Structure 1
Amino acid sequence: MKRSLKLFMILAFCLSINTYAQDTKAVVDKIVAEANDNSQLENLAYELLDKNGPRLVGTPQMNSANDWAVAKYKSWGIDARNEKWGEWKGWERGITHVDMVSPRVKTLEAMQLAWSPSTNGKDVTGDVVVIPNVANEAEFKTWLKGIKGKFVMIDMAQPTGRPDYNWEKNGTELSVENMKKDRSEVSRAWSQRVRNTGLTSRTLPAALEEAGAAGILISNWSRGFGANKIFGAATKKVPTIDIGLEDYGTLFRMAEHGDTPKITVKTTGKELGMMPTFNTVAEIRGSELPNEYVVLSAHFDSWDGGTGATDNGTGTLVMMEAMRILKKIYPNPKRTILVGHWGSEEQGLNGSSSFVQDHPEVIKGMQALFNQDNGTGRVVNISGQGFLHAYEFINRWLAPVPSAIRREIDTNFPGTPGGGGSDYASFVAAGAPGFSLSSTSWDYGAYTWHTNKDTYDKIVFEDVRNNAILTAIMTYMASEDDQFFPRDQSVLPLNPRNGQPMSWPTPRNPTRKGGGE
C-alpha cells in the first residue's frame, strides 16, 4: 500500500511538472505570436515621437505624453494614472533661426539649448568673437569690456569633423596617428585658454552675459557625422545656441582670421514658470499575490535635441508593448504587474527615486524589476546586480525565451549593484531586485545619445520587437514563480581604485523642485 501511494505521488508530481511545462509553452507561444503578428510598435512610435515630440522635463510636451500614455493603457483595458512627484522649471522650445549675414550670407545649422532664454521673437544681429587667448584673468576682464552686443564662441573648433572610425577606415596608420596627436594638442591649448580667463566652461556663460554679450555660441560635437549633443543652458538672460560642427568651424576660422562674421539670431522659446512633473504608472492587478510586484521600467523623459527616440523612446515602447501583450495573453497574473514610466531620469533618476520613496509597499513586495534604457538594440547583457540568488531566478525566467533571442544575451552573476546610469539603480539602492536589460550599441553614444539625431528613423524595430517578447516572457515567468526573490546580497569585490571593499549603493534623495539643466 505504501509503495503504491509513493508511486502515485511521484506520478502526480511528474504530471504536474509536465502540465506546467505545457501551460508555460502555450503562453509563451501566444506571446511570441501576438508580438510578431499584431505588433503595435510602429504606431506607438509614431504617436509618441512624431506627433508628441521630445519629452524634456518641465515642458508641455512631457505632460502631454504622460496623458497620452494613460489614455493608451486605458484603451487596452489597463488601469493607469499619472502620479505627481515634483515640479520643474517650465519651458517650451520654439524656433531657432541663425543666419550668417557677413562676410557672406548663409543659414546656419543651430539649436538653442534646453531652458535657454530667447530673443523674444526678435531678430538680434551682432558680431561673432571667440574668447581670447589671454595671459591671465586681468587681461580677460579688460577684454570683457568690449563684448556688449556680440555673440561669443566658447568652444574650440574641431580640427576634423570625421569620426575616428572614418579615419581608421580610410586613413593610413600614420595619418590617423597624426590626426589624434593634432587634436590632442588643440584640445590642450583650448583648455589652457579657458583656464587663463580665471573661469571654467561652466562659469564662462554667466560672466559673458553679465558683461553684455548678445548670446553664447557652443558646439558640443558627439563625434559622429552631423551629430551634436543638446543639453541645458547655463545662461539666465541671453540665449545659448549650439551650432553644428561645420558651421561653427566656419564662424570660428573667420573670427580668428580677423574677418569678423556677423550673425542674426531669432529664438522664440517660452519660460512657463514651475510645472508639475509626473510618473505614468499602469498595472494589471495580481489574482493570487496582489501585494507582490513584477515591475516593468523605462524612463519617459528625454533631452530635446531630437525626439528622444532611442533615449528612451525605445525602452518606453518595449514596456508598453509588453504590457499590451500581457493584458491580452495573461490577463489574470499571479502577481501584480506594474509598469513605471519615470520622469526626469536625465537630471538624476528623480522620478524613479521619488517612486521608491513614495511606495515602500512596492519595494517590500517587489519580485523583480526589468528596466530597458540604452538604445534601440537587442538585449545582450543581464547582470545579477549583486543579488546572491540572481543566477537561479534569472536563468529560470530566461529558459522559455526563444533561443534566437536568448542566445544573444550574456549574463553576469552575481554581478555588482549599479549605482546610477538608469532607473533600475533607484530600486537596487533600496535593496530591491532591479535588473537592466542592456542592449547593443548601434553607435548609440556617438549618434543618438542626447543628440539632435535621436529620431524615429534610428529605431531598429526588429530588435525592439524581440526586446518586448523577452520582457513579456520574463515578466510572465517572474509572476508565476512559486518562489519570492530573496534579497540576499553577495560579498562585493574590492574597489580596484582604492583596494577597499565596495559598498552597496544608498538610496538617493530626489530633486523634487528643479530649475533646469
Structure 2
Amino acid sequence: MKTTDLNLLTNCWRKAIPLMAAALLCSGISQAQSSKAVIDGIMQEETNNSQLEKLAHELFDGIGPRLVGTPQMKQANDWAIAKYKSWNIDAHNEKWGEWRGWERGISHIDMISPRVKSLEGTQLAWSPGMGKKTVNAEVIILPDLADSVAFQQWLPNVKGKFVMISMCQPTGRPDYNWQEFALKESFEKMKTERTAMIDAWRKRISKTGYNTHTLPVALEKAGAAGILTNNWSAGFGVDKIFGAYTKIVPTVDIALEDYGMLYRLSESGGKPVISMHTESKELGVVPTFNTIAEIKGSEKPNEYVMLSAHFDSWDGGTGATDNGTGTLTMMEAMRLLKKYYPHPKRTILVGHWGSEEEGLNGSRAFVEDHPEIVQNLQALFNQDNGTGRVVNLSGQGFADAKDYLSRWLEAVPDTIKNRIKTNFPGQPGGGGSDFASFVGVGAPGFSLSSLNWSYGSYTWHTNRDTYDKVIFDDLKNNAILAAIMAYMASEDPAKTSTTKTEGIKWPVQVKATRRGGLDK
C-alpha cells in the first residue's frame, strides 16, 4: 500500500470512529430511554389504573372457590380467557386430565336439643349430600376403647347417630393471644395439657384399628348418620376445610366454638340432637384444564418467559389468598406488559394451573407435555403464599442465578426492590408450589415469596380465605415486580444458565396425577 493510501485510510478511520462511537452511544441512550418508558408506564398504570380490585370482586365474590372438578373451576377458566381477550391477549384452556366432578349445595345445621341454636359448619369437599332429606339425630363422641376388638363391639352404637371424631380443643384463643395476656404459668399449663390431649386423641384413633382416612368409612358402613370433625387452624374463627373420605353420608367440619359445645354436652350426658340438611351433586368424570395466555415474541419467539400461579383452590372460603391473589397478580402483570411492551423479544406466557392443591398436577402435566417450552425457558416467576408483598427471592440452586436475577432486579423501583431479600444459590424446591414442577426438570423456575400476613393460620386452606383478606397495595407492588422481571428477562441479550450448583441434591421429577378422585 502506498503511503498516500495509508494516510487516506487513517484519516477515514479517524473520522469514522467518532461517528461509530456516537452511533453506539445514541443506541445505548435509545435503549435506556425505551427501557425507562416501559418501566415508567408499568408503574404509572398500576398506580393510577389498577384493575386488581375489579378482578378480585369478579373472581372471588362472583365465581367463588375453584375446587378441581367443580363447575366453578371451569367457569373461572373461561372467565380468565374472556379477560385476556378483552386485553387483546391470546389465551386458551388446555386439557391435561380428568377429575371427579362434584358441586357443593346448600347446608343447614342446627342444634335442636337441649336447646335451639344454629351451628356454624361446612361440609368437606367431595362430601356426599343428603338429597332432599333432613336428618335429626343424636351426637355421640368416638369413645376411648381398649383396642380394635372393643371398637368393633362398640361400632353398632353409631347407627343413626352423628359421630364426633376430632379432639375437643382446650382453648379457642390462638397462642399469640395467650402470650399477650396470660400469666406465664397459665400459658405453659395450657400448652402442656393440650399436648397431652393431642397425644391421647391420636392414641384413641389408633386403638380403633383405623386412621383418620379410614375411620369415617368404617363409621358410615356401620350406619352412622354423618361424621363431625373440627380441624381448627389455631386462630380466632378459622378451620381448615379439606376433603371428605365418606362415600354415603356427609362429613361436616363444625366450627370450634360449636364443636366444643356439642362435645361437652355429649360428654356430660346431655345427649345433644342436631338437625342437618346438606346437598351436593356428583357430576361424573369432568375434564381439567390449565389456562394459558401468550404475548408472542418478536425476535426470539421460541424462547420463553413465564408467569405462574395456580388457579384452583380449596372451597371452604373463596380461595382469595390461596391462590387468587397470585392469579390476579399474574393477570394484571400480563395486562401491563401487553399495554407497555406489546412486542416482547421473547414470548411471554402465563400459566394458571389446575389441581395444585392435590399435588401440583396441572403444572407437572404442562412440564411433561411441553418439553419445547421447558427446554427454552428463560425464567419462570411463580407467586403462591398469600396476599403480602414479595420479600424473598431464592436462586433455587442454580449456580448463575445471582448474575441474572440481580441484574433484572436492578430495574425494579427501590421502593419494591429494597424490601426483597435474596438468597443465592439457594436450595431447589421439591414441592410447595408450581415453580417446583419446573425446577424438578432443571428449568429456571423461581418463587416470589411474600410477607406472611398470618397466612398459615388465617387464610391458607381455611373458611376465612375471602376477598376482605386481600391487601391490594401489596398486590399492586407484586404486579409491578412480576411485570418488570418478565420484561427484563425477555430483553436480556443472554440466555439464562441452568447450571446446577455442585454439591446440592436435586429433587426428583414427580409425574402428574391425570385422573383424580376417581375409582381406579
Specify if TM > 0.5: yes
Find the partner of 1:512 among 495, 498, 514. Answer: 514
Find the partner of 2:364 among 353, 357, 362. Answer: 353
Pair 1:43 & 2:54 matched: yes
Aligned counterparts of 2:164 and 2:489: Cα–Cα separation in 1: 54
Is the Cα contact below 8 Å between 1:98 and 1:110 reproduced in 2? Answer: yes
Q: Which secondary structure state, in structure 1, belongs to the residue aligned with residue 287 of structure 2? A: strand
| CA 387–9 in structure 1, closer or farther in 2 if over 3 Å, else same | farther
Pair 1:318 & 2:329 matched: yes
Q: CA deviation at 1:200?
A: 1.4
In structure 2, what residue type is equivalent to 1:422?
Answer: S
For residues 463-482 of structure 1, give each alpha carbon's deviation from its aligned partner in whole angstroms, at most 9, with x where no partner exists: 00000000000111100100
Aligned counterparts of 1:88 and 1:195: Cα–Cα separation in 2: 31
TM-score by length of 2: 0.96
For residues 227-255 of structure 1, give each alpha carbon's deviation from its aligned partner in whole angstroms, at most 9, with x where no partner exists: 00000001111100000000000011111
**Structure 1 segment 402-481 matched on structure 2, within 5 A:** 402-481=413-492
Query: Match for residue 217 of structure 2?
Result: 206
Aligned counterparts of 1:347 and 1:200: Cα–Cα separation in 2: 20
Find the partner of 2:319 among 305, 308, 329. Answer: 308
In structure 2, what residue type is equivalent to 1:350?
Answer: N
Aligned counterparts of 2:207 and 2:372: Cα–Cα separation in 1: 54
Q: CA deviation at 1:14?
A: 4.2
Query: Match for residue 244 of structure 2?
Result: 233
Q: CA deviation at 1:80?
A: 0.5
Gaps of 5+ in 1: 494-501
Taking every aligned residue pair, what percent have the same amino acid on both sides? Answer: 63
Is the Cα contact below 8 Å between 1:349 and 1:423 reproduced in 2? Answer: yes
Aligned counterparts of 2:164 and 2:14: Cα–Cα separation in 1: 89
Q: CA deviation at 1:364?
A: 1.4
Q: CA deviation at 1:391?
A: 0.4
Q: Which secondary structure state, in structure 1, belongs to the residue aligned with residue 196 of structure 2? A: helix
Find the partner of 1:196 among 192, 207, 213. Answer: 207
Is the Cα contact below 8 Å between 1:118 and 1:270 reproduced in 2? Answer: yes
In structure 2, what residue type is equivalent to 1:514?
Answer: G
Q: CA deviation at 1:10?
A: 4.9
Query: Match for residue 7 of structure 2?
Result: none
Q: CA deviation at 1:173?
A: 1.4
Q: CA deviation at 1:516?
A: 6.9
Query: Match for residue 24 of structure 1?
Result: 35
For residues 348-395 of structure 1, give each alpha carbon's deviation from its aligned partner in whole angstroms, at most 9, with x where no partner exists: 000001011111111111100000110000000010011111001101
Find the partner of 1:179 among 187, 190, 197. Answer: 190
Is the Cα contact below 8 Å between 1:284 and 1:331 reproduced in 2? Answer: yes
Pair 1:381 & 2:392 matched: yes
Q: CA deviation at 1:137?
A: 1.0
Is the Cα contact below 8 Å between 1:297 and 1:372 reproduced in 2? Answer: yes
Is the Cα contact below 8 Å between 1:115 and 1:516 reproduced in 2? Answer: no
For residues 259-288 of structure 1, give each alpha carbon's deviation from its aligned partner in whole angstroms, at most 9, with x where no partner exists: 111111100111111111100001000011
Is the Cα contact below 8 Å between 1:386 and 1:492 reproduced in 2? Answer: no
In structure 2, what residue type is equivalent to 1:511?
Answer: T
For residues 485-508 of structure 1, give each alpha carbon's deviation from its aligned partner in whole angstroms, at most 9, with x where no partner exists: 111111134xxxxxxxx2x11221
Query: Match for residue 278 of structure 1?
Result: 289
Q: CA deviation at 1:13?
A: 4.0
**Structure 1 segment 480-495 matched on structure 2, within 5 A:** 480-493=491-504
Q: Which secondary structure state, in structure 2, belongs to the residue aligned with residue 223 of structure 1? A: coil
Q: Cα RMSD over matched residues?
A: 1.3
Query: Match for residue 279 of structure 2?
Result: 268
Query: Match for residue 116 of structure 1?
Result: 127
In structure 2, what residue type is equivalent to 1:382?
Answer: L
Aligned counterparts of 2:212 and 2:291: Cα–Cα separation in 1: 36
Is the Cα contact below 8 Å between 1:416 and 1:492 reproduced in 2? Answer: no
